[in-house]
Every structure is written in structure tokens, then in C-alpha cells.
């Protein structure tokens, strides 16, 4: 039996050519999943695909545009991850300020765990939610935010 947490699973990851999606694709392939890269930016998607293929062989399926998700009838667990602000291509759009080391230091100081989100923080949570480790977990919106939801303004 494989010790990989996602062996035998197929994951469709939207936006896998960058940001959170790319880190998810890398972790999921590393955990044995077959990954469908659903990426609107063809060159970004191909970059990730080629990088992973060169590492993991033919474990990747590639598509360039979003696929409609299809949910099965029963036995499908549905959970979500609620991240802290992450440092990606969207950081400046979300905050309205430049993503600088000074900005990151100030932001981290507001988080109970005193650091910003790292992409693996989300990917680790996603591996857990998609693996049998969470086989009795469903209907959960999981904050991955260093405790920021515990702080009330
Ligand atoms: N960055 C954050 O702080 C943060 C926090 C909470 C939620 N989110 C959400 O997480 C998701 C990913 O954010 P990110 O920060 O990694 O963004 P990003 O811009 O770094 O990466 C997004 C990727 O998705 C691709 N993409 C965009 N539209 C697409 C489409 N229609 N089909 C397929 N691919 C598409 C882009 O080309 C890009 O490679 C977004 O929905 C964002 O709103 C981000």
C-alpha cells in the first residue's frame, strides 16, 4: 500500500499555473494524485506541467480552460479552506498597496502567529481535506490564517 496520502485520486486544480493553485498542484502530485491543471494562462500552465512531468512522469493531465465541476451523488465530501491573505499575484489587488518587505512585516505583526501565509500552509490543509485522514470531515470551512479570525477589531 502506498504511503502517499492522495494515491489513486484525481484532482482538478483551477489556476494551477501560479499562486496558491501551483503550490497545490505540486503538493498533490507529490502525494500521488493525478492532477488536472485547469489554467487559463496557457504558458503558465505548461510551465507547471512540464516542471512536474519532468519530476513525476505522466501523472499530470493538462487542460487550458476551466472545467465544470461535477459532483457525484453520495459519498462526496465538501469542505473549503479560508486562507489568510497570501503573497501571490493578487496581493496588491486585494490590499491596494505595494507588496514590499515592509508591508509584509507590518502585516505579519497583526497575525497572532506573527507570520504571513506560506503556500504550503494551504497545500497541507488541502492534502488533509482530500485524504482519508479527514474521511469523517465534511461541511467544514477551515480557516488557515495563523489565528487571525480569533482577533476582533
Ligand atoms: N492571495 C490571497 O491572499 C487570497 C486569499 C483568499 C482567497 N484567494 C483566492 O484564491 C484564488 C487563487 O488566488 P491566487 O492569489 O493564487 O491568485 P494568482 O493570481 O496568483 O493565481 C491565479 C491563477 O489562476 C489563473 N486563472 C485566472 N482565471 C482563470 C480561469 N478562469 N480558469 C483557469 N485559470 C484561471 C491565473 O492565470 C493564475 O495563474 C483566487 O480565487 C483568489 O481570489 C486568494
- Across the range 2-6, mean pLDDT stands at 89
Ligand 1 within 6 A of CB of 86: yes
* Residue ranges covered by each domain of the chain: 10-67+80-136
- The 10s digit of each residue's pLDDT in 98-140 is 999 999 999 999 999 999 999 899 999 999 989 999 988 877 7
SS (H, E, C) the chain: CCCCCCCCCEEEEECCCCHHHHHHHHHHHHCCCEEEEECCCHHHHHHHHHHHHHHHCCCEEEECCCCCCCCCCCCCCCCEEEECCECCCCHHHHHCCCCCHHHHHHHHHCCCCCCCECHHHHHHHHHHHHCHHHCCCCCCEEEECCCHHHCCC
Q: Which CATH superfamily is domain 10-67+80-136 in?
A: NAD(P)-binding Rossmann-like Domain (3.40.50.720)
Ligand 1: centre distance to CA 50 (Å): 20
Q: Whose CA is nearest to atom 29 of ligand 1?
A: 40
Ligand 1 within 6 A of CB of 19: yes
The overall pTM is greater than 0.95: no
- The 10s digit of each residue's pLDDT in 43-93 is 888 899 888 886 665 443 333 233 334 454 678 777 778 788 888 888 888
The larger pLDDT score, comparing residue 74 to residue 3, is at: 3
Amino acid at each position: 500500500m502506498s504511503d502517499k496520502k492522495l494515491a489513486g485520486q484525481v484532482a482538478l486544480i483551477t489556476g494551477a499555473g501560479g499562486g496558491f493553485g501551483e503550490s497545490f498542484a505540486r503538493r498533490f502530485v507529490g502525494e500521488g494524485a493525478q492532477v488536472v491543471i485547469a489554467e487559463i494562462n496557457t504558458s503558465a500552465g505548461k510551465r507547471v506541467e512540464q516542471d512536474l512531468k519532468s519530476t513525476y512522469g505522466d501523472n499530470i493531465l493538462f487542460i487550458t480552460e476551466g472545467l465544470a465541476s461535477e459532483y457525484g451523488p453520495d459519498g462526496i465530501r465538501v469542505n473549503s479552506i479560508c486562507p489568510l491573505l497570501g503573497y501571490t499575484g493578487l496581493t496588491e489587488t486585494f490590499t491596494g498597496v505595494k507588496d514590499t518587505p515592509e508591508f509584509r512585516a507590518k502585516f505579519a505583526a497583526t497575525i497572532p502567529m506573527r507570520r504571513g501565509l506560506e503556500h504550503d500552509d494551504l497545500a497541507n490543509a488541502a492534502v488533509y481535506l482530500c485524504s482519508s485522514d479527514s474521511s469523517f470531515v465534511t461541511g467544514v470551512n477551515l480557516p488557515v490564517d495563523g489565528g487571525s479570525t480569533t482577533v476582533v477589531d
